[in-house]
């Protein structure tokens, strides 16, 4: 692999990235990490490398993660059946304990460890820590699935100022001490908005927004909020893509400059998006 490029070609690649390095140096970028990039070991390693590289060039990276498949797997091992209603996990008291254990414990600390193995400095926190995310019950039928009522960014900005990469698991609490499972995309959108992030990157298992969901060549590179709403009406944006685009709009309305729905299955897609002309996925803009 190392022999594929001459030193001159390597230097050219770095020079081409310079305008983007300048653009994002000192800026906050929130990455919602999920999908296949979280399950495939090789992709996981590459995502951590991308994050550490961005951190080394002065980007303030905040990593927000879920972990649905691992929660379901742990529930199965404990003899508990996962139940979903309208795509959301029905979360009783026992399930929310499992969610907290898996998200704020195992997954969160594994990611912190990986970042540090790559040479970065990371601190793992949950939405409960420092009251970062307050929530209330979204719907009694869903149980302890939370709707965000308040975001407090101080613990995250403190970590960023001390040059740490905050790794945030999406569990939250209310003032009565109840714990809630929060949708990862929603949490990332709220946090990115509250932090005034330069960019929110939503990693998914699809190429981005497609005019024809079965044809990756129909990828829409850029889209405004009003154009996205028209695609809702025409059923181009449908199914599982609706809540994802809703989260993009939510983030933009709360102060994020732009949001990218990105194919996390592509190696080093984060660097492609931030440090090249090409980008990766669909950029959603206010417009």
Q: pLDDT (tens digit, 0 to 9) for every residue of the chain, 287 residues total? A: 456 778 888 888 888 889 999 999 999 999 999 887 788 889 999 999 999 999 999 999 999 998 888 898 999 999 998 888 877 788 999 999 999 999 999 999 999 999 999 999 999 999 999 999 999 998 899 999 999 999 999 999 999 999 999 999 999 999 999 999 999 999 999 999 999 999 999 998 888 888 887 888 888 989 999 999 888 888 888 777 888 888 999 899 988 988 999 888 888 999 988 988 777 789 998 87
According to DSSP H, which parts of the chain are helical? 7-24, 36-39, 41-56, 68-77, 93-100, 108-117, 154-161, 184-195, 225-233, 241-253, 269-275
Indicate if 58 belongs to the active site: no
Options 34, 66, 67, 68, the catalytic residue: 68
The β-bridge partners of 173 are 134, 179
Assess whether 185 carries a catalytic annotation.
yes
Query: Among 32, 44, 60, 118, which one carries the catalytic annotation?
Result: 32
Would residue 35 show up in a list of annotated catalytic residues for this protein?
Answer: yes
The answer to whether 31 and 199 have CB atoms below 8 angstroms apart is no
76 given a catalytic annotation: no
Strand ordering across the sheet containing 179-181: 146-151, 133-137, 171-173, 179-181
Q: Is 287 a catalytic residue?
A: no
Catalytic member of 44, 60, 138, 244: 244
Active-site position among 50, 129, 185, 263: 185
According to CATH, the topology of domain 27-285 is Carbamate kinase (3.40.1160)
Domain ranges, ordered by start, for the chain? 27-285
């Amino acid at each position: 692999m190392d022999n594929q490029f001459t030193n001159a070609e390597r230097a050219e690649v770095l020079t081409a990235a310079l305008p983007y390095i300048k653009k994002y140096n000192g800026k906050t970028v929130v990455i919602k990490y999920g999908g296949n990039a979280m399950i495939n070991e090789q992709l996981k390693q590459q995502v951590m490398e991308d994050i550490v590289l961005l951190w080394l060039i002065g980007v303030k990276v905040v990593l927000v993660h879920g972990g649905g498949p691992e929660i379901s797997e742990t529930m199965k091992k404990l003899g508990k059946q996962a139940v979903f209603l309208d795509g959301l996990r029905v979360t009783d008291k026992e399930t929310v304990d499992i969610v907290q254990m898996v998200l704020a414990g195992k997954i969160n600390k594994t990611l912190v460890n990986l970042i540090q193995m790559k040479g970065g400095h990371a601190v793992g926190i949950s939405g409960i820590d420092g009251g970062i995310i307050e929530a209330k019950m979204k719907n009694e039928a869903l149980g302890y699935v939370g709707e965000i009522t308040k975001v407090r960014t101080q613990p995250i900005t403190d970590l960023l100022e001390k040059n740490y990469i905050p790794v945030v698991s999406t569990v939250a609490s209310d003032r009565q001490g109840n714990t809630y499972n929060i949708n990862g995309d929603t949490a990332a959108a709220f946090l990115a908005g509250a932090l005034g992030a330069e960019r929110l990157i939503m990693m998914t298992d699809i190429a981005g927004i497609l005019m024809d969901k079965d044809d990756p060549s129909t990828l829409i590179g850029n889209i405004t909020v009003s154009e996205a709403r028209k695609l809702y009406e025409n059923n181009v944006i449908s199914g599982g893509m609706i809540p994802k685009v809703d989260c993009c709009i939510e983030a933009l309305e709360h102060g994020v400059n732009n949001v990218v729905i990105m194919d996390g299955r592509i190696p080093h897609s984060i660097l492609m998006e931030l440090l090249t002309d090409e980008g990766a996925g669909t950029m959603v803009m206010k417009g």
